[in-house]
Amino acid sequence: MNETLIAFLYLIASVCFIMALRGLSSPETSRGGLLYGVVGMVIAIVTTVALPIVQSYWWIVGGIIAGGLVGTVIAQRIQMTALPQLVAAFHSLVGLAAVAVAAAAFYAPHKFGIGEVGNIHAGSLVEMGLGVAVGAVTFTGSVIAFAKLQALMSGAPLVFTGQHILNAALGIAIVVLIVALIVTQSQAAFWALVVVSLLLGFLLILPIGGADMPVVVSMLNSYSGWAACGIGFTLSNSLLIITGALVGSSGAILSYIMCKGMNRSIFNVILGGFGTDSGAAAAGAKSGDKPIKAGSAEDAAFIMKNASSVIIVPGYGMAVAQAQHALREMADLLKDEGAKISYAIHPVAGRMPGHMNVLLAEASVPYDEVFELEDINRDFAQADVAFVIGANDVTNPAAKTDPKSPIYGMPILDVEQAKTVLFVKRSMASGYAGVDNELFFRNNTMMLFGDAKKMCEDIVKSLG
């Protein structure tokens, strides 16, 4: 395959990836976007395997078969609620791959056309050093994110005195080690860079709380893209450079949009201090013996049957219970009764950007009924009922009233302004951020305790 044809096919693959990102920006075009991504990746793989420098196909074919089998098994078994931690795990593998490729290039530079051992081109060493640093940070950072999302470790922020100073020192050490690698080309400098970068990735994600994890997943996605981009320069592979840059920039833009929507600083995400303050209280006030109003499915059905406007607020609890189909059936019955139905989506509802949108689309909820926070918040004051199903932190008024709360300053859905709030929840347990929701104790709130799917099914029976 000649160089002109290779460049043309790589260009086609790059265009497909750009179209994939465009398509995935909306639920209505997401299927087409996914198809573009698949086509682009097939073209990329086939073209790369056909490169003249490839001398043996056994390892390549073996890797494709092994990876394909693992991916197929995961795709068949993974639950929607586990997608965030799966994405974090995949990000860690991208980071690890970047480190592995850099190590291969460092020990066998002649195979990559970047010089000889001890005499590697300076430019290649810069690219290699940056790829190693970003890749290692991505690997350990993603492992910590996976552990928090999988509840293998506490989702609460883990902070200690001098944490930011230590992170800054490690960042400076990485720069120094990259310079040392360029000057000395020693194995000690290379592996010291790997170790320090791995430690920094660990410390950057450790202090970030569970409520902020969707932004972290997005940012790690960006890191994995930049790691791939850096290694693309080492391999002199234009497609890997373009693809890595697309993933890195799109992840960074999404993280910025989410931070802006949550009134947070993008720099705090990058520096590992998102949503945390070592001097602030780690949690809000506890519930104590505050009274609540608890109701049944029949009570909820009666209230909503007489409502003219109902705003549904889905959250992670809906995802866990797989209640989206029963919820859609309930909404259809309410529309038959003359109620106006809307769905309110918070930017970080669930544990991954777009989590709730995907679930609602899976249940064939009309796209024109689904609204983002900035488009729906003003409507709560005129709504007869706000039906909160499994959402917690994103509806907590403490974000507006309690400066000591770890979620203070985060824009929330103003469900408390509705005439009646029906809150579906298994128990009075706090949300992922570890703080109690003041909304539970409001006079206009009725708690509906139980499994979200069963509660919706029981409401459907009562409406019928």
Q: How far is CA 308 from the centre of its chain?
A: 35
As separate numbers, helices (DSSP H) first and strands (DSSP E) second, the chain gives: 18, 8
Any catalytic annotation for residue 299? no
Q: How far apart are CA 346 and CA 343, in angstroms?
A: 10
- For residue 25, the number of C-alpha atoms closer than 13 Å in the C-beta half-sphere is 12
Instruction: Tell me the two tokens of residue 331.
Output: 């909404």
Q: How far apart are CA 441 and CA 435, in angstroms?
A: 14
Which residues make Cβ contacts (< 8 Å) with residue 253, sequence separation at least 6?
none
DSSP-assigned states of every residue in 366-413: -GGGEEEHHHHGGGGGG-SEEEEES--GGG-THHHH-TTSTTTT----
Report the DSSP beta bridge partners of residue 385. 310, 420
Among residues 393, 414, 436, 458, the one annotated as catalytic is: 393
Q: Residue 214: is it exposed, middle or buried by C-beta count within 10 angstroms (0-12/13-18/19+)?
A: buried
Q: How far apart are CA 182 and CA 190, in angstroms?
A: 10
Query: Taking the chain, what is the end-to-end CA distance rounded to the nearest angstrom?
Result: 66
If you search the block for the tokens 């104590």, which residue do you land on? Answer: 288
Q: Quick one: three-class SS letters along 31-68?
A: HHHHHHHHHHHHHHHHHHHCCCCCCCCHHHHHHHHHHH
Residues annotated as catalytic (active site), given as ranges: 393
